[in-house]
Structure 1
Amino acid sequence: MKFDINKIRSQFPILHQQVNGKPLVYFDNAATSQKPQVVIDAEVKYYNEINANIHRGVHHLSQVATDAYEESRIKIQKHINAKNSFEVLFTSGTTFGINLVANGFGQILKAGDEVIVSHLEHHSNIVPWQFACERSGATLKVIPMLQDGSLDMEAYQNLLTKNTKIVAVNHISNALGVVNPVKFIIEKAHQVGAAVLIDGAQATPHLKPDVQDLDCDFYVFSGHKIGGPTGTGILYGKEVWLNKLPPYQGGGEMIKEVTFEKTTYACLPHKFEAGTPNIAGGIVLGVAIDYLNEVGFDNIAAYEQELLDYGMQQLSKLEGIEFYGTTAEKASVISFNFKGIHPYDVGAIIDKLGIAVRTGHHCAQPIMNYFDIPGTIRASFAFYNTKEEIDAMIEALKKAQMMLQ
């Protein structure tokens, strides 16, 4: 597809509305993305034409639903370049995927083992590992961050030991937009025999992860951040690791045979997919990925870089502005504050002018503690945003500053 911003914006019906009498400017894409009409239509079509349970029925609708669901799994396998489709598990989102892996490790870790996370993590990639360490007696270690928001790679290498069993880091920081050197992190972890989980929730809207090239052991992401439905997500896991980990939930579909004396588990991927899943969501997630590939990730990356550069240029002209996460490698996320003004107050005022940004700690309190701030204003851009919308945000911010100073 030729990148035509006007055509693209016409495909997102929610963008064409007013908030408080002003045109909506949606800059909260790091929290959730808006959905193109093709995704909305696919969800309606499922319930109008296909609705049936999967993997269990011999009747026509069940077979149609099963085929559509498994075809979506294969689409996602190809999109992330997984070796096998059964290494792709449907989940309810990134949080569920991390908890599934952390719960499994919590049952195989022991006292003296070590788990490494980074200072840049979302709470969803901290708390489950704390649970696992509390349960097993393992030790949680943290890769420190530097003033520009990057991770201290020298310190990381010093943290790695023969006792390190898993390293869990994000690909891109949700709070700062910093792109982490995940390939280097994975390579160093593997040298000591540790597994690696990559939280790709913030990366997958901007790039196509190649899990075989990265050589990660697990990769997780959410559907709702890539134009898909809420309550959907993917956990990729290498076959060897998925076979090692115990099931996360028990129920229908994940069993091979059940007796009151003993239960044996189904083969992958069903071992980890207990119960009736979000069938519509899984099918429609494949539609969302098709749409992004049609737009083209090279087009998305180039255009979002333009928005990031322009946004930084225009914001830098404002008095008293402070930026957080200033590394060269960044996604289209700008986290900032104004000296002496609480971020919530700014967000509340510019909302009255139709500007949707996120304020607060962004479920990343350790980052805010590092900078000794209550939170930030976060403007996160998507490929359907425009420079004109950035201009509107700038004018709204000027008005907020005048009111709050």
Structure 2
Amino acid sequence: MSHIVIIGAGQAGAALAAKLRALNHAGPITLIGEEAAPPYQRPPLSKKYLLGEMALERLYLRPPEFYAENGIELHLAETAVAVDRADRRVIAGGRAIAYDQLALTTGAVPRRLPGAIGGELAGVHVVRTLADVDAMAPDFLPGARVLIVGGGYIGLEAAAVAAMKGLEVTLVEAADRILQRVAAPETSAWFRALHRAHGVDLREGTGLVRLIGEGRVTGAELTDGTVLEVDFVIAGIGVTPATELAEVAGLATENGIAVDAMGRTSDPRIWAAGDCTSLPFRGERIRLESVQNAIDQADAVAANMLGAGVPYDPKPWFWSDQYDVKLQIAGLNTGYDRVILRAGDREGSVSHWYYRGAELLAVDAMNDPRAYMTAKRLIEAGRSPDPATVAAGDLKALMAA
């Protein structure tokens, strides 16, 4: 029987293994993960888990016994160090594991601050794994001074949790505005106001020169000349796809492990899914960093590994929780040339609709789930309502148009 090995026990890896069994794959499945914990959710780590509102067991994607009960051999705390494509073997945990088909779901790794500017000092954290969050949790004491470097969603979510726990929060973003890479100025302005209303010292167009400290960080020098006293630092400066194993194995990469529409790599016996992949989408190659894509792409790859032959058609959507605000995003705003504002149906709700010419590309909905769901359905159906109808605010009219 065909042995399928999966390297990477995150959201995509766990979803792929479960889907293979759901599709009645009868052969052995081996799932290899670097971390000691069984596969778990990442989004709550920097929110409910860090706030103490979610127990460790609730993070798990499946009960630990699920894997044995479903014939999935789970290898935890093991690092795959090589893929021998000629003999179809994975080297992990000091042994060789033979495969008939291999799936890479290695995810992404956080960018760290350079050691030359103090990035290796104690008290400098990143947000990605359970161990990362457990390491920073003792620093989240009321009145503690935290510097957050980076104004993307990870940095803003960390700032929100810190402010809610009573810390003194400074957030610096080297670009002209927060969320500059992923959102319109209107959305940046909305979240800027939100964080400042919660007491965050948010500084845009301001970078980090160096961190100060002997052994542990105690201060930071910024590009605006300010020297801050800090108790700890969080770097939220993005992630890079974990492609090292694929590169050493000689697989094609392009801002991620390059896969075709089926999820197959440049080796016909090796597949990939999740944050580590770059995939074809509307005539270009993109990488989608989201739980939704990790699950959907993994499900598609599982089916194709078993011979389905069905191209994966991404339906991008994302979310972010900050304070009492839920941001929901549908579509991709790449190439937009105007943004339409729609006031929500209740106080504090609003949505920003991205257009390229007459085409609706995406929406950012803040505490406005009805607008989000309406826009998502429209985008997935390839329908673009008149912007004037969007601005008027009648969602029923949008769906009927």
After TM superposition, the score normalised by the length of structure 2 is 0.30
- The structure with more strand, counted as a fraction of residues: 2
Higher relative contact order (Cα pairs below 8 Å, separated by 6+ residues): 1
After TM superposition, the score normalised by the length of structure 1 is 0.30
- The structure with more helix, counted as a fraction of residues: 1
